[in-house]
A and B are shown apart, each in its own frame.
Chain A
């Protein structure tokens, strides 16, 4: 039992990672990864929402009528998101300005509803907690990796501290400005997926519709 719970926590970090394996939650991964500070705040916000929504939904799963279960899940998730957003605005005002609407958009993040509907509805609270936390950490890991690459290459800084002095500030580093635009996150996430699947070939999806072997001679 203990081993199984731990497995729930560790599996989504790489093997079932919500971003690189299940390709969920991509939109926020593109939007908030221009700097480490925003990516970290977003990761913490999402992990908190995901973990608590998993626990709550798992606790009331026995009483959720199937006809309105999705509405109820969204209601719970949306309320948690609003609370987190309000807390950020009160205590981390400057960061919340930079994250603008993306914390609010956690509601529509497929990872959260996906885990609620796919896991928490069928498992007890403790396992749902581990699963929510694991998925949150997996999401955070990818977000922070992408943000580290983008911020370092795009501005020469990490968490706002200068690592490479840019030419504008009298150094030798020419910022790679493409890294600050959304498409670069696609390239980096694509590269990460390729990297993970080359190291762990088990993750490669089987070909759904294999091509027929080429028949020689044609049809004439």
Chain B
């Protein structure tokens, strides 16, 4: 005759000797269930807050960069804030994917998803990211109908973390207007200085491309001699090189290169 009363069944299980097999399994199951419930509960309850925080952080960085660009704040106020357009671009061809709603495209989640990325051949993987998403968002700022700014979200491997940044190109898409690093976990006090305004100011008005259309902007050690060079931070050579590689990769043919060619050809 099976005992169907759950309370007395529970008590019977608790009364079993601790090292019996049934009690071992019973304790394992109960503890796991309680812990799993606790973790799931907090995760679900706090998720809206997490997403809000991430979103705010991203918007703050974007606004900060755009506001810091000389003359751009007036362009934005004159043209109205609605002139910031978001497009999703197919990286391989450089064509805007018209059927995609940018608001629905979660770029960061797509970066590691095998179904939405391609493996980058090792020789081309300058930024150290191994996989490249097929689609990427771009931000276009217009003054009337003139394109004044193209903002590209870029990321790559630094010394010990993934560095994420926005790279702003002027309307001619050959001059770097600004770089804004919004996420990195480099060594505090050393590599972490790559996101200091002092260093990022060096990324203003750089001619990004050479005469043949090749990417020429680069971080160098020992003092920038050319207008397209940026001096590396002392004590943070590898973090600086990480930023350099990431900018070079995303401006190059494996990154946003085809898209920038389209803009130059007047397609946008």
Contact = CB atoms under 8 A, between A and B. Distances in A.
Nearest to A180: B189
A63 B14 contact: yes
13 contacts: A34-B189, A60-B31, A64-B18, A66-B18, A68-B27, A72-B27, A79-B39, A86-B43, A86-B46, A90-B49, A98-B188, A180-B190, A181-B187
A74 B38 CA distance: 15
B24 interface: yes
A128 B180 CA distance: 49
Interface in B28-47: 28, 31-32, 35-36, 38-39, 42-43, 46
A90 B44 CA distance: 12
Interface of A: 34-35, 60, 62-68, 71-72, 75-76, 78-79, 82-83, 86-87, 89-91, 93, 97-98, 100, 154-155, 177, 180-181
B188 A35 contact: yes
A100 B50 CA distance: 15
A76 B31 CA distance: 8
Contacts of A177: 189-190, 235
B188 A83 contact: no
Closest 6 CB pairs of A and B: A180-B189, A79-B35, A90-B49, A93-B53, A65-B24, A90-B46
B23 interface: yes
Given A76-B31, A87-B46, A82 B39 contact: yes
Nearest to B32: A75
B38 A89 contact: no
B190 A83 contact: no
Given A86-B43, A93-B57, A100 B19 contact: no
Given A35-B188, A90-B46, A65 B35 contact: no
Contacts of A60: 27, 31
A64 B27 contact: yes
A91 B49 contact: yes
Contact of B53 (A66, A75, A90): A90
Given A66-B19, A93-B57, A86 B189 contact: no
Best-surrounded residue of A60, A62, A63, A66 (most CB of chain B within 10 A): A63
Nearest to B15: A63
B213 interface: no
